[in-house]
Structure 1
């Protein structure tokens, strides 16, 4: 039985449309939220376009709680499923970081063309933070997407094995290696194991709210195994543990907001502070008593931090000193 979202009321207030676009050879399913995304004519009226990039093994549903609190008038929020995940088709190439960066580089101009005068904001969560930062740094040799600002939620600020629970990452690497070594059908079944998904969900959730935990587990049960095939998820996993935002941060001059958690099992909070210090124009907001699921457990605070950042962005762009805020 589906568990009702605690953010359903907020999300229901926002108009949403769906469409499909061919992006970098991948049939990409896109959801658009906000009054500015209801038809082609009103799209051009949006003063801000926010493109959100979800994390590994998830799909666009993961960032819907944050979107629910960002649905202000005059904003167009574009939420695609990454190629090979959710309802999007795979790329016609390896699903490595370069492949995903090329896809994002192709997506942003399409979005920008429909709202040519709008400010463009790129938001990435977890693995999405790596994709967004690599694209913004021009790491694959492509021209960085024309973004006016960047937001990274639960950024992977250091190598995954350096996290507070790096042993879990080592276990995950072993799990994916086993899945890769097995015959195709059996390996695919192992990757979609409901038991493994629940273990991952339980390990990441920090909230003591039983109903919220129940909903988080339901979200992972429903969407965490929606990938096209074994190759897609194995490629993406290798990309997620082989790179991190610290590789690209120093080359990103675009004003950037880092929304981090003090109990994130993947990235120690010290690495978030180091990342912010290494980036030319970054602010860091740290949310207390939450881990790698800010988008599920603290979306209201994340959205509030984004709203404040977007409102103050000219100050950052003018060279004011960026700081750290704790919430």
Structure 2
């Protein structure tokens, strides 16, 4: 697929790695130089996997990034015998950070913002936190709350139908394309094509419908507000002014709940900052992690 960020990304060293955690194998990718001044652990969003954050990685300067696939998504299998709820994801992320990069900054995008914030509030050792498109209010109350309610019915049906029918529904390419069209805000036809093809390729790489349903219920039952007051570390929020999941007004309120938070707003983009405006997001992150930035103090 035509990738507008390919030339930049081709210059980034990348290594695929595996580590045993919680009785399963977590697959993750290490980007950048091993001796980079800063290390970032990047947690992707719902139904996504590590590929989704690569446009941001391509624009980062002087940052080593460890980007795992969440349990049950991409190349990481589910954790055996466990429900994939927030407690499980928090336990997994805390273990991953301790085993691969103790003391690294943690970044969470969308659903990953809930996992990252909950883990840091629960004691994950990190000097700072970055949240991109944070879920700063209940999804059912967002500008497109009616679409979220339809999504609740969609994932419930996928979980309750006979196995083959449920799986086919959840991986239906027309529905996946509809989700992509609803989220994309760019008017650039080539960039829109790239976004849609990314979702076509990676949005259905979940292990099974049980994991997907657990994660969806977690995503609509939690938001970052509950954890913000307990996060003492400097926090960067990168939010979109046209986000249909969390309106910008709610993001501005969310920023006030953290003891030490900075909010960067990006105009003319919605919930796909990582695809549509990765350079702007990466510039904010690079500055935050720089020696003079709040993320290092």
TM-score class, shorter: over 0.9
Task: Provide the rounded CA distance (Å) in 2 between the counterparts of 1:30 and 1:178.
Answer: 31
The answer to whether residue 111 in structure 2 is matched with residue 127 in structure 1 is yes
Task: Provide the rounded CA distance (Å) in 2 between the counterparts of 1:106 and 1:271.
Answer: 31
Q: How does 1:282-297 map to 2 (within 5 A)?
A: 282-297=261-276
Match of 1:18 among 16, 22, 27: 16
Aligned residues: 296
Query: What SS class does the counterpart of residue 221 from structure 1 fall into?
Result: helix
Report how far residue 226 of structure 1 moved.
0.2
Report how far residue 25 of structure 1 moved.
2.2
Task: Provide the rounded CA distance (Å) in 1 between the counterparts of 2:286 and 2:190.
Answer: 27
Residue ranges of structure 1 left out of the alignment (5+ in a row): 37-44, 114-118, 139-143, 319-327
Query: What SS class does the counterpart of residue 19 from structure 1 fall into?
Result: strand
TM-score (norm 2): 0.97
8 Å CA contact retained: 1:34, 1:71: no
The answer to whether residue 130 in structure 2 is matched with residue 170 in structure 1 is no
Cα distance, 1:316–1:18 mapped onto 2, change above 3 Å? closer
Cα distance, 1:209–1:183 mapped onto 2, change above 3 Å? same
Q: How does 1:167-206 map to 2 (within 5 A)?
A: 167-206=146-185
8 Å CA contact retained: 1:53, 1:123: yes
8 Å CA contact retained: 2:225, 2:254: yes
Alignment correspondent of 1:42: none
Q: Residues 128-178 of structure 1: CA distance to partner in whole angstroms, max 9, x if unpaired? A: 00000000111xxxxx22111110000000000111111110110011111
Q: How does 1:96-175 map to 2 (within 5 A)?
A: 96-112=85-101, 120-138=104-122, 144-175=123-154
Q: Residues 44-87 of structure 1: CA distance to partner in whole angstroms, max 9, x if unpaired? A: x4432110000000100000000001152xx3210110010001
TM-score (norm 1): 0.88
Question: Segments of 4+ in structure 1 off by > 3 A?
Answer: 312-318
Task: Provide the rounded CA distance (Å) in 1 between the counterparts of 2:295 and 2:110.
Answer: 24
Q: Residues 207-228 of structure 1: CA distance to partner in whole angstroms, max 9, x if unpaired? A: 0000000010000000000011
Task: Provide the rounded CA distance (Å) in 1 between the counterparts of 2:192 and 2:203.
Answer: 15
8 Å CA contact retained: 1:14, 1:71: no
Task: Provide the rounded CA distance (Å) in 1 between the counterparts of 2:14 and 2:2.
Answer: 19
8 Å CA contact retained: 1:133, 1:249: yes
Cα distance, 1:257–1:182 mapped onto 2, change above 3 Å? same
Task: Provide the rounded CA distance (Å) in 2 between the counterparts of 1:300 and 1:29.
Answer: 26
- Provide the aligned C-alpha RMSD in A: 1.4
Report how far residue 23 of structure 1 moved.
1.6
Q: How does 1:1-80 map to 2 (within 5 A)?
A: 3-36=1-34, 45-72=35-62, 75-80=63-68
Q: Residues 6-26 of structure 1: CA distance to partner in whole angstroms, max 9, x if unpaired? A: 000110001101111112223
The answer to whether residue 216 in structure 2 is matched with residue 237 in structure 1 is yes
8 Å CA contact retained: 1:253, 1:280: yes
Q: Residues 199-252 of structure 1: CA distance to partner in whole angstroms, max 9, x if unpaired? A: 000000000000000010000000000011110100000000000001111111
Alignment correspondent of 1:300: 279
Task: Provide the rounded CA distance (Å) in 2 between the counterparts of 1:134 and 1:236.
Answer: 14
Alignment correspondent of 1:41: none
